[in-house]
Structure 1
Amino acid sequence: MKLKYLILLTVSILVIGIDQATKLFVNKVMDLHSSITVVQNFFNITYMRNKGAAFSFLSNFNYRIPFFILVSLVAVVVIISVIYKLRPDQKFAALSLSLILSGALGNLIDRVRLGEVIDFLDAHWYEHHWPAFNVADSAICVGVFLLAIDMFLEEQRQKKQKD
């Protein structure tokens, strides 16, 4: 098996497994909108449900579920096709794209199963809260950040090869 596919499989199993396990746990042991303080004035576990995308975007859109499922499926196809085209030396890009794909699939599972996404990670500074998020969201953000770094490094490699 090619290394990029091994990375994809390993990351996907880990991220989706942790994402779904944490969401199931929070759903089972907490009441909706209840909160557990982890670090005073900084971090809570707060059980929320998000019908929209990031920051509840499109949460009142009538066709939001089919729309988000379609967008997720298109993203999955695009990411898999990009991974397929990666060179064998692009392990960092494979890792980044695998994180993004896994996060998209984790939230897609919620949308198909529940019609909404379970969020529970609540970062805040005293009363100033960032919108609640989950493991899948974190994987997407980390993946995008790492992909941006990889794209910058790839550009630097290309420039050096031309010189």
Structure 2
Amino acid sequence: MSVLSGCFSMSSFPWRDYPRLTWLIAVAFLMALDQLSKAWFAASIPLGTAIEVTSWFNLVHVLNTGAAFSLLADAGGWQRMFFIVIGVIVVVPITFVCLARQAEPLERLAGGFIVAGGSGNLIDRIDSGAVTDFLDVHWRGLHWPAFNLADVFIVLAAGAWILMSLSSSRVASGNTP
């Protein structure tokens, strides 16, 4: 056994022995990071204003009563309960799957990002009826809809699932490297 392999034995990474507990702690940490960042930006930037950081990036404080890209934001209020129900329908089963079955590490990671992001936005919807967004990317007057860390987590999860899908389709077709 080399010195290097001795430094990185299984006992060096105790979280490998407790993947479900590690997953719960990681999801709780990501949710806390999301909620704390939203609270900090909401307290630091007046609603509806922006702080220019670079020529293509602003910090803003906006509230989104809709879904991604403000979908249904002007629907008259019924969308709050609709998005809460959708959030629960997504978060609860993915949590169950990540905790109850043997999942591959990348599957568990993607599920953790979805649960953390979905729960972060769900908390906002339950608490105030709107999601706090504070990141604004723009170019030549064209602004991507403002977003938050929970949205970033959800996009990262989607990217991981796309990678898993591509690799499993390659394996299924026999095109493995």
TM-score, L = length of structure 2: 0.81
Q: Identify the residue that residue 143 of structure 2 maps to in structure 1.
A: 129
Q: Which whole-Å CA distance do the structure 1 matches of 2:25 and 2:99 have between them?
A: 16
Q: Identify the residue that residue 27 of structure 1 maps to in structure 2.
A: 42
Structure 2 residue runs of 5 or longer lacking an equivalent are 1-16
Count how many residue pairs are aligned between Structure 1 and Structure 2: 157
- Report the residue type matching 2:147 in the other structure: F
Identity score, percent: 32
Q: Identify the residue that residue 102 of structure 2 maps to in structure 1.
A: 87
Q: Identify the residue that residue 100 of structure 1 maps to in structure 2.
A: 114
* Higher RCO (CA-CA < 8 Å; seq separation 6+): 1
Q: Which whole-Å CA distance do the structure 1 matches of 2:126 and 2:152 have between them?
A: 20
| 1:106-145 paired onto structure 2 within 5 Å | 106-145=120-159
Based on CA coordinates, which of the two structures has the bigger radius of gyration? 2
Q: Kindly state the Cα deviation for residue 11 of structure 1 after the two structures are TM-superposed.
A: 2.7
3-state SS of the aligned residue for 1:93?
A: helix
One of 71, 76, 86 as aligned partner of 2:86: 71
Q: Which whole-Å CA distance do the structure 2 matches of 1:152 and 1:8 have between them?
A: 24
Query: Does the CA-based 8 Å contact 1:7-1:98 persist in structure 2?
Result: no
- Report the residue type matching 2:105 in the other structure: K
Q: Kindly state the Cα deviation for residue 65 of structure 1 after the two structures are TM-superposed.
A: 1.3
| 1:41-60 paired onto structure 2 within 5 Å | 42-60=56-74
3-state SS of the aligned residue for 1:96?
A: helix
3-state SS of the aligned residue for 2:73?
A: coil
Query: Does the CA-based 8 Å contact 1:11-1:95 persist in structure 2?
Result: no
TM-score, L = length of structure 1: 0.88
